[in-house]
Amino acid sequence: MLNVLLHCRTVVESANILTTGVMTHVEGELFEVELHDFEKFELGESVKLTVYSPAGLQTIQSTVFAKYEGAIALIQPPNVQKRFKERREHPRVNVSGSIQVHSVQDESGEEMKFEHPLTFAVNDISLSGIGISAPDTTQIYRNMKMKASVEFDFAFNCELEVIRRERQDDKLLLGAKMQLIEQEMMRPLRAMILKHQVEKSAALRKETVMKKRF
């Protein structure tokens, strides 16, 4: 498990600097290393990580994706998951967006297309799933398949399968597996999710620093 790398002493080496920190976060496609010399690294810079873990010495080639107060975020290369025989979990991030459902298909395979798409709010998203808020009168049920388009700062088309349906207050919360129709949209979606992850980590770190000061 990648969690074996957490809280381990980690040496970060670039062409210009070698420094030591602590691995503080392992999620989705990101590592986070806490270190004093975070400002000396450049975004997009290639680095080598040497992690002193209970599973032995781990050497990882990576790239600096972001830096914020007291830490840097780095991209997890795919071979790390293979090394630990671990399936990468897709982190889910909270977002504000909309989804238009163009058709639904029930368990019998019967498809119903809408002349006017149903428009709902998107609560959260990952590379393989999406959370949706809908009015509690919406006739969408578990195991239904849907064709939809999602819009944030960019838009993409997808196919969904509803795996969760629950009422909360006066609305329905739907959770669905998601498959992109245009695979080239995976890149901007991944970039958006990474950006939200980094922003969340930076905000939490800033809050922690402020609490320590006061």
Residue 196 belongs to a domain: no
pTM of the full structure: 0.75
The rounded distance, in Å, linking the Cα atoms of 97 and 74 is 27
Judge if 125 and 184 occupy the same domain.
yes
- Domain boundary (54, 89, 124) is at 89
Is pLDDT at 87 greater than 80 in this prediction? no
- Kindly state the average pLDDT of the residues 73-81: 84
Shared-domain flag, residues 140 and 54? no
Do 182 and 125 share a domain, yes or no? Answer: yes
Residue 130 shares a structural domain with residue 174: yes
Is residue 207, in this structure, part of any structural domain at all?
A: no
- Tell whether 210 is covered by a domain: no
In degrees, rounded to 5, the angle at the alpha carbon of residue 43 between the alpha carbons of residues 84 and 16 is 90
Q: What is the pLDDT of residues 159-186, one digit of tens each?
A: 999 999 999 888 999 999 999 999 999 9
CATH number reported for the structural domain that contains residue 54 in this entry: 2.40.10.220
177 contacts 163 by C-beta, under 8 angstroms: yes
- Claim to verify: residue 140 and residue 65 sit in the same structural domain: no
Residue 61 scores a pLDDT above 80: yes
Looking at the fold, whether 183 and 122 belong to one and the same domain comes out as yes
| Residues facing 134 on adjacent strands | 172
Number of domains in the chain: 2
Note the Cα 58 to chain centre separation in Å.
24
Residue 157's domain comprises 93-188
pLDDT tens digit sequence for 21-30? 999 988 878 8
Neighbour-count burial of 157, counting CB atoms closer than 10 A to its CB (0-12 exposed, 13-18 middle, 19+ buried) = middle
